[in-house]
C-alpha cells in the first residue's frame, strides 16, 4: 500500500490561483506564474502550481460564480478544462500539456475540484464510468454545497460511488496531476443534521488516490476543520484548512493564532494543518472591485510568515507572482524562514494570550528558535518564558528576518515589539 504521508514529507510550498484570479484563471496566467517560480523561487523550496476552482466553466471570470452555469464535461460525467481558457486541453488532452510544461520546469502541478458529481450530469441522467449506473444514481439528495451550484455530493453507500471517484482520479493521474485540493468537504460538522457523511466521501477520495497510480497531495477545504476530526483528517489527507477563507485582514490573522494553538499536535510528516494561502502581493488582479495589493502592513506580513513558518503550515502564495515588489519577494526568499517551515522540530506554543504569543521550535541545526508576536494594538515587551532556555548560560541571538546578531548573557531576555509586529530569533550557546 502506498503511504499517503510520503506524498508530503514536508509542508507543501507553492502558488495557488484563487487569491489573484478567482475562478477566472487561464492557461497563460498559470504558466506565467510557473515560470516566475522556476526563475525566482524554486531554489527556496517553492514547487506546486495549483489551478483553483472552475477550470471547467467557460464563462468564469472572477471570484463570483455564475450560478447553474453549463460546464465542460466528458461522456462519463467528468469535468474537463474549458478550452477557451485552457487552449492546450483541446482534443481531449485535459491538463496533460500544462502538467508536462510545469514538470519540465522542475515543478509540480495541482488542481482544485469540488466534491461530488456535476448537477448537470444528474439532471441529464448521464452515464458514469460504471456499467449500468448513471450520475443520478450516485448523487446524494441530502448533500449540497451552500455556495456553489456545480455539484451534488456523492451517496457513498451506492454502487458507482467508488467507481466514479476512481474514474476522475485516474484521469487526473493520466494528466500528470500531483496535488488535488478538494473543496466543500472539510468543515463537516456544519452538516451534522443530515445523513450525508463527508467522512465517508473523504475516505472514498483517499482510496481513489491510493489506487490511481500516482502520488498526489490531498488538500481539503474549506475550514474550519473541527479538532474532533483531527485523527480522521490525519489518516486520510495531507492538508486541511483550519479556518474559513483567509484574507488580508488583521482580525483573521490574529484569530489564526488560536487555531494554531488548537491544532499544533497534529503537525507531522504527511499531515499539515493548513492556515490557507498567503494573501500577499497583487490580489484579485482581474476583478476591478476588489483588485489591490495586500492590505497587510509590512509588520503584519512578517508576522504572518513567521507564524506559518513556526507552525509548519503549508505555504501557498496567493498573489500574482510576476507583479511582486522587492519586499514581497524578500518574504519568500528568506532561507532561514523557509528552513524553519520545512525542517524544524518540537514546534509548539509557549504563551497564548489575547495580546501576545510566543512559539518555539528547534531548527535543523539543533538550535532553539523563539518567535515573539505582539497581537495587541500597543507597543509591548515580551520576555523569554521561564524554563525554555538555560538561565545560567550566555547566548548568541540571531534575528531571522533582519540577520542582526547580538549576545545575551542571561535568559532574562526580552523583545520590544510594535503593534502587530513579531520577531523570530535563534539562540546559540
Binding-site member from 76, 266, 293, 428 for its own copies (CB under 8 A): 266
End-to-end CA gap in the chain: 45
Strands 395-399 and 179-183, bridge-based pairing = unpaired
**Listed ranges 67-75, 303-311, 372-380, 397-405: which one lies at the site for its own copies (CB under 8 A):** 67-75
Q: Is 122 in the site for its own copies (CB under 8 A)?
A: yes
* Radius of gyration of the CA atoms of the chain, in A: 22
Minimum Å gap between C-beta 235 and its own copies is: 9
**Listed ranges 44-52, 93-101, 120-128, 403-411: which one lies at the site for its own copies (CB under 8 A):** 120-128
Per-residue interface string for the shown chain with its own copies, residues 68-87, x marking contact by CB under 8 A: x-x-----------------
Minimum Å gap between C-beta 57 and its own copies is: 14
CA distances from 219 to 21, 146, 195, 216, 344 (A): 20, 20, 24, 9, 22
Binding-site member from 78, 112, 136, 312 for its own copies (CB under 8 A): 136
Number of residues located near its own copies, criterion CB under 8 A: 37
**Listed ranges 72-80, 87-95, 147-155, 403-411: which one lies at the site for its own copies (CB under 8 A):** 147-155
**Positions in 367-406 near its own copies (CB under 8 A):** 386-387
Cβ nearer to its own copies, comparing 146 with 366: 146
b/e per residue, 229-238, with b = 16+ CB within 10 A? bbebbbebbb
Closest CA to 65 of 119, 141, 137, 15: 119
Q: Is 261 in the site for its own copies (CB under 8 A)?
A: yes
Give SS3 for 13: strand
Cβ nearer to its own copies, comparing 4 with 181: 4
Binding-site member from 123, 159, 298, 393 for its own copies (CB under 8 A): 123
Give SS3 for 56: coil
Give SS3 for 154: strand
The CA distance from 215 to 230, in Å, is 22
Binding-site member from 31, 73, 105, 352 for its own copies (CB under 8 A): 352
Cell of 211: 489506487
The CA distance from 49 to 176, in Å, is 12
Closest CA to 239 of 299, 311, 292: 311
Binding-site member from 194, 394, 396, 429 for its own copies (CB under 8 A): 194
- What burial class does residue 315 get, using C-beta atoms within 10 Å of its C-beta: 0-12 exposed, 13-18 middle, 19+ buried? buried
**Positions in 15-54 near its own copies (CB under 8 A):** none
Q: Is 355 in the site for its own copies (CB under 8 A)?
A: no
Q: Is 144 in the site for its own copies (CB under 8 A)?
A: yes
Cell of 287: 476583478
Q: Which residues pair with 397 in a beta bridge?
A: 406, 427
**Listed ranges 16-24, 93-101, 224-232, 414-422: which one lies at the site for its own copies (CB under 8 A):** 224-232
Minimum Å gap between C-beta 227 and its own copies is: 5
Reported as half-sphere exposure (CB side, CA atoms, 13 A), residue 120 has a value of: 17
The DSSP secondary structure of 188-219, one letter per residue, reads GGGGTTSS--HHHHHHHHHHHHHTTTS--EEE
Cβ nearer to its own copies, comparing 125 with 295: 125
**Positions in 330-349 near its own copies (CB under 8 A):** 348-349
Q: Is 151 in the site for its own copies (CB under 8 A)?
A: no
Cβ nearer to its own copies, comparing 124 with 162: 124
Give the residues lining the site for its own copies (CB under 8 A). Answer: 1, 3, 65, 67-68, 70, 119-120, 122-125, 136, 139, 141-142, 144, 146-149, 194, 227-228, 230-232, 261-262, 264-266, 348-349, 352, 386-387
Amino acid at each position: 500500500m502506498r503511504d499517503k504521508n510520503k506524498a508530503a514529507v514536508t509542508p507543501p510550498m507553492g502558488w495557488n490561483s484563487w487569491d489573484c484570479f478567482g475562478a477566472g484563471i487561464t492557461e497563460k496566467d498559470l504558466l506565467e506564474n510557473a515560470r516566475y517560480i522556476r526563475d525566482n523561487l524554486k531554489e527556496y523550496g517553492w514547487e506546486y502550481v495549483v489551478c483553483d476552482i472552475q477550470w471547467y466553466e467557460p464563462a468564469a471570470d472572477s471570484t463570483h460564480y455564475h450560478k447553474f452555469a453549463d460546464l465542460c464535461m466528458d461522456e462519463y460525467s467528468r469535468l474537463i478544462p474549458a478550452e477557451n481558457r485552457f487552449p492546450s486541453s483541446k482534443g481531449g488532452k485535459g491538463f496533460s500539456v500544462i502538467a508536462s510544461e510545469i514538470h519540465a520546469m522542475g515543478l509540480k502541478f495541482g488542481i482544485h475540484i469540488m466534491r461530488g458529481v456535476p448537477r448537470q450530469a444528474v439532471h441529464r441522467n448521464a452515464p458514469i464510468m460504471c456499467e449500468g449506473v448513471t450520475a443520478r444514481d450516485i448523487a446524494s439528495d441530502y448533500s449540497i454545497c451552500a455556495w456553489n451550484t456545480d455539484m451534488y455530493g456523492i451517496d457513498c453507500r451506492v454502487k458507482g460511488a467508488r467507481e466514479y471517484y476512481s474514474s476522475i482520479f485516474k484521469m487526473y493521474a493520466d494528466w500528470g496531476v500531483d496535488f488535488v485540493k478538494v473543496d466543500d468537504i472539510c468543515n463537516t460538522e456544519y452538516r451534522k443534521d443530515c445523513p450525508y457523511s463527508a467522512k465517508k466521501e473523504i475516505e472514498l477520495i483517499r482510496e481513489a488516490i491510493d489506487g490511481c497510480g500516482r502520488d498526489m497531495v490531498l488538500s481539503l477545504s474549506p475550514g474550519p476543520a473541527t479538532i474532533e476530526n483531527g485523527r480522521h483528517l490525519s489518516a486520510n489527507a495531507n492538508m486541511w484548512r483550519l479556518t474559513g477563507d483567509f484574507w488580508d485582514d488583521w482580525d483573521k490573522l490574529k484569530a489564526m493564532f488560536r487555531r494554531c494553538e488548537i491544532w499544533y499536535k497534529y503537525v507531522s510528516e504527511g499531515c499539515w494543518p493548513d492556515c490557507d494561502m498567503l494573501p500577499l502581493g497583487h490580489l484579485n488582479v482581474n476583478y476591478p472591485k476588489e483588485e489591490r495589493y495586500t492590505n497587510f502592513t509590512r509588520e503584519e506580513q512578517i508576522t504572518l510568515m513567521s507564524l506559518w513558518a513556526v507552525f509548519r503550515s503549508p505555504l501557498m502564495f496567493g498573489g500574482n507572482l510576476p507583479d511582486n515588489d522587492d519586499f514581497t519577494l524578500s518574504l519568500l526568499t528568506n532561507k532561514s524562514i523557509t528552513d524553519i517551515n520545512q525542517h524544524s522540530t518540537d514546534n509548539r506554543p509557549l504563551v497564548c494570550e489575547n495580546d501576545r504569543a510566543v512559539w518555539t521550535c528547534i531548527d535543523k541545526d539543533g538550535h532553539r528558535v523563539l518567535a515573539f508576536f505582539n497581537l495587541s494594538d500597543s507597543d509591548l515587551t515580551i520576555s523569554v518564558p521561564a524554563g525554555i532556555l538555560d538561565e545560567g548560560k550566555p547566548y548568541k541571538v540571531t534575528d531571522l528576518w533582519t540577520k542582526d546578531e547580538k549576545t545575551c548573557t542571561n535568559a532574562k531576555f526580552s523583545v520590544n515589539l510594535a503593534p502587530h509586529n513579531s520577531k523570530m530569533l535563534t539562540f546559540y550557546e
